[in-house]
Amino acid sequence: MIRIAAVGDVHLGEDARGRLRPALEELGDCADVLLLAGDLTRHGTVSEARVVADEFGGLPVPVVAVLGNHDHHDDKPHEVSAVLRDAGITVLEGDTTTIDVNGHTLGVAGVKGFGGGFAGKCGSAFGEPEMKAFIRHTTEIADSLRAALGRLDTDVKVALTHYAPVPDTLRGEPPEIYPFLGSYLLGEAIDANNTHLAVHGHAHFGNEHGMTPGGVRVRNVAQPVIRSAYTVYCVEPAVVEV
């Protein structure tokens, strides 16, 4: 069994140093890895990233992150990622990491994701160039998630995104903003690759539990949703238990 802790949307500002750390110190007792589902900062500044690095660096378990839209706001995603990596955090964007856990291998494929909406109520690459660019960004990211998951040859595969791959975990959000909260293309990428678990954030007013059309468990770990420092999912190579 592999124990996967996860949280997203901690939105740490410069005044938040030390806020989460006490709850993380005992993480090694209950989890084998910690996944961070983006929106780690408030505005994506390098100084905020240093706070994130101090909070999540040097923990007793590997920490794997994707960035969120807030982490892009200051137009320095590479600098933010570099600060996190300097603290030992693995930051994924279209790539993977593999972790050995008690004789099993855990593979994590991560992307930020993007919006676009869900089947029957989604945008399409039609009309103005701005609309085409919007959908192209989603399509390229979903393709990179699909390819990254496909490269994993591990006992357990987990998809880590910021944006949602299904609408199930958005219930509680206004339906009008669903197209800005995620894309069904992410869900299709997850379903195409025998994924065991999909973890995302971004939907602060959504709910925790959902499922892809192909039956993959989806969990919205936005901190306002899980209302704790993190939550832990226990995953077997063939079965997910929550």
Which spans of this chain sit near Fe ion (rule: CB under 5 A)?
A: 9, 39, 68-69, 202
Contact present, 20 and 52 (Cβ < 8 Å): no
Q: Retrieve residue 97's tokens.
A: 């990491």
CB of 190 to Fe ion, least distance (A): 19
Contact present, 181 and 164 (Cβ < 8 Å): yes
CA distances from 11 to 45, 67, 81, 97 (A): 11, 11, 15, 24
CB of 203 to Fe ion, least distance (A): 8
What residues pair up with 209 in beta bridges, in sequence order? 219
Q: What is the DSSP string of 190-226?
A: HHTTT-SEEEE---TTS-SEEE-TT--EEEE-BHHHH
Nearer to Fe ion, 69 or 207 (CB): 69
Nearer to Fe ion, 50 or 200 (CB): 200
CB of 163 to Fe ion, least distance (A): 8
CB of 36 to Fe ion, least distance (A): 12
Nearer to Fe ion, 9 or 74 (CB): 9
Which residue, 21, 22, 16, 12, is CA-closest to 55? 21
Nearer to Fe ion, 68 or 110 (CB): 68
CB of 162 to Fe ion, least distance (A): 6
CB of 66 to Fe ion, least distance (A): 11
CB of 8 to Fe ion, least distance (A): 7
Q: Which residue is nearest to Fe ion (CB)?
A: 39
Which residue, 51, 57, 88, is CA-closest to 71? 51
Nearer to Fe ion, 39 or 173 (CB): 39
Nearer to Fe ion, 43 or 104 (CB): 43
C-alpha span between 154 and 62 (Å, rounded) = 17
CA distances from 225 to 60, 105, 130, 204 (A): 25, 29, 32, 6
Nearer to Fe ion, 69 or 139 (CB): 69
Dihedral sign for Cα atoms in the order 173, 136, 37, 238:
positive
